[in-house]
Amino acid sequence: MRGDDDGSVTPRKPGSVLVLGEALCDLVIDVDGSVTSALGGAPYNTARALGRLCVPTEFASPISTDRFGELLAASLTDAGVDIARAARTEAPTTLAAATLSVDGSASYRFYVEGTSILDVTPIEVGDGPVAAMTGGLALALPKVARSIESLLDSGLPLFLDVNCRPALIDDRSAFLDRVHRFAARSDLVKISDEDARWMADPDTGTGGAVEQIVDELLNLGARAVVVTAGGDSVLVATASGRAQVEVPAVEVVDTIGAGDAFDAGLIAYWIRAGADREALGHLELLTSAVGAGVAVSAMVCGRRGADPPRLSQLADELWP
């Protein structure tokens, strides 16, 4: 199973994508002050979206036994995600207050002390998965990051979504060190333009932040870096070149879970192509995978909360 010189790939037997990170409940505060609850957490959203896209997926991070936790577990199971290794904890479900603005974008505040996200033990990767994905609060919280460090020596292709959460980061330098350590062993790193501006050297200025961070991540060893920018085009960068993937105009309900759905669409394309880690360095295949991520993300933006589409709701032509 390899990426060929022309960008084509030889198929391999499908296996599961191992997803590690937070499963929480979003309390969505609308512009009119109304509050609704929604299942969430960036890796959780990605796992559920992968399941709905018919990609064999395993979610192996803690889920509470409280009512929110039961809903989280049931929704993963309904999507076809394997949760056999997701430890059930009596700690209450982690909460995130997601405040919507008039354009549908969301800002977050997290409540983590004493909650399920911190009830972690070191994960054993095992021999079933063919790829792994993590990011989000798993990088922001040192205890969680330590529990999943086995990913770095697993030999699995690793997809990392940095997904900075400044409200949770007490030590910026230590956080960046964790990001760099994980990125150095990752095959694809996704950031947003907002992530790049927060991560960049303050002397760089906002205009050069994306270029600075992309170069840093590639130099650390990532095969590819993908930068999303809301409704603007997505930057795809590898050692061999760079490309832009256009984002269609959509009527935005809210952007909750859009980036997570993007991750799922990209990974689903990569899996369906039978690709391996070498293929992530092929710009042509990667831009096609990003196009799938954009399409899945666009559907989520048109829905309330993180509600990823099922495979049957997407055009067959989207996939290899």
Top CATH class, 16-119+129-309: alpha beta
Question: Could you tell me whether strands 57-59 and 129-135 are parallel, antiparallel, or unpaired per DSSP bridges?
Answer: unpaired
- Please enumerate in sequence order all residues whose Cβ is within 8 A of that of 91, keeping only pairs 6 or more positions apart, or say none: 62, 64, 114, 115, 116, 118, 119
Q: What secondary structure letter does DSSP report for 205?
A: -
Closest CA to 289 of 117, 129, 159: 159
Closest CA to 228 of 241, 211, 245: 245
Specify the amino acid at residue 102.
V
- Phi first, then psi: give them for residue 44, nearest 5 degrees: -60, -45
Burial 287-308 (b: 16+ CB within 10 A, else e): bbbbbbbbbbbbbbbebebbbb
**pLDDT tens per residue, range 30-84:** 888 888 888 999 999 999 999 999 999 999 999 999 999 999 999 999 999 999 9
**pLDDT tens per residue, range 156-187:** 999 999 999 888 898 999 999 999 999 999 99
Partners of 160 in the beta sheet? 134, 189
Question: Alpha-carbon distance 58 to 84, whole Å?
Answer: 8
201 pLDDT above the threshold of 90: no
Question: Alpha-carbon distance 96 to 24, whole Å?
Answer: 7
Task: Report domain extents, the chain.
Answer: 16-119+129-309
Neighbours of 102 (CB within 10 A): 6
Question: Alpha-carbon distance 18 to 132, whole Å?
Answer: 5
First to last CA, the chain: 16
Among all chains, which residue has been given the structure tokens 């350590």?
A: 181
Question: Alpha-carbon distance 189 to 161, whole Å?
Answer: 6
Q: How many residues does the chain have?
A: 320
> Taken in order 135, 228, 289, 217, is the CA torsion positive or negative?
negative
Predicted local confidence at residue 204, as pLDDT = 59
Region of poorest pLDDT, from 2-11, 13-22, 235-244, 309-318: 2-11
In the chain, DSSP finds a helix count (H) and a strand count (E) of 9, 14
Cα→Cα distances 149→88, 121, 134, 145, 249, Å:
21, 11, 11, 6, 38
Contact 308/48 with Cβ under 8 angstroms?
Answer: yes
Three-state secondary structure call for residue 236: strand
* Maximum C-alpha span of the chain: 55
**pLDDT tens per residue, range 126-149:** 888 999 999 999 999 999 999 999
**pLDDT tens per residue, range 261-280:** 999 999 999 999 988 888 88
16 pLDDT above the threshold of 90: yes
Closest CA to 20 of 114, 131, 135, 127: 135
